[in-house]
Amino acid sequence: MPATKFVCPSGRSITIKRCLAACPEKQRCMFLPTLRAVAESLDRGIKGATVTELIGGVREIYLKKKTSYAVAPQDVLYSLHGQAVHTIHEEHTSGEILGEIRLKDRITSGKFDLYGKIIDGEEGVLGDLKVTSSYKLAKALGIYKVDVPTGEVYKTGARKGQPKTRKEFRYDGVRHVWDWAVQLNYYRMLLEQSGFEVKKMFIQALCRDSCLKTAAERGIDKQVYIIPINRISDRWLLRYFGKKSKMLKSALRTRILPPPCSIKETWQGKKCLEYCEVRGKCPHAAAMVELLKVGNAG
């Protein structure tokens, strides 16, 4: 089931239906149409787990489908940003460009963003639109900093005699695009299963904090970046998504909680502590929170 409650700025929870009917606070935290849009974005009415969902942890998907949980509207506004970008593009595609079509196979389903002559004169290009942070974008582009000697030394202080350095950007680091690449490749496979040839794949990433100082400090100096995506083996994709789909279906049938999400799926535990929408329903997340409390108390 989708989220059934909103968390007010005061911390109280209220059913989404009641929130939209009448705000319990003195003033709404957002305009009513915005809250309605957020509520609609939480329930897309799609049966079965999608490609995007299966990239996450099976336990997280299970809890979202089987438990009632609450979200803070402010925390899920990013989904509206993405929807707005997709809507703009839908209005500017023509006959030679396909977009926003959901395809499915026996394992899962996915809706690709753009397919056709979208970046150069070649047909058969698959594109995906992302609205993301400068942090994730810098990781995706392989940007990092190194210390470069200036030729000078410190003349006073604790570092007297030591060489001075300055930070310089390098652009040849590891590109952390695993989740984007897996998602886009499954869309590619779905298209090819439907008879469409995919020659190239690209991500068009829009940086939502590009005007901030932090973005420049991370080497991000443009609002939009085009990132090429390489092909991933169909066999690997089918094994990866097939295994997770099978685990989810078994859990939904037996109502047995799946194993905790992997370290990668939880962003080294950060998602469990702060970002997972169903962390309040997960025993593993609760144990991590208690362990953190004990560590802070010590």
Q: Quickly count: other Cβ atoms within 10 Å of residue 288's Cβ.
A: 17
Residue written as token pair 């149409």: 33
User: With 70 as the cut, is the pLDDT of residue 295 above it?
Assistant: no
The mean pLDDT value of the chain amounts to 91
Q: How confident is the model at residue 294 (pLDDT cuts 50, 70, 90)?
A: low
Q: What tokens does 6 get?
A: 């909103």
> Range with the lowest mean pLDDT among 85-99, 136-150, 180-194, 200-214?
85-99
Q: How confident is the model at residue 90 (pLDDT cuts 50, 70, 90)?
A: confident
Q: Residue 285's closest CA among 16, 69, 8?
A: 69
* C-alpha–C-alpha distance, residues 134 and 138, integer Å: 6
Q: How confident is the model at residue 91 (pLDDT cuts 50, 70, 90)?
A: confident
Q: How confident is the model at residue 1 (pLDDT cuts 50, 70, 90)?
A: low
pLDDT of residue 297: 64
* C-alpha–C-alpha distance, residues 83 and 7, integer Å: 22
pLDDT of residue 215: 94
The tens digit of pLDDT for each residue in 8-57 reads: 998 889 999 999 999 988 899 999 999 999 998 887 777 888 999 999 99
Coil/strand/helix, residue 67: coil
pLDDT of residue 284: 92
Q: What is the pTM of this model?
A: 0.90
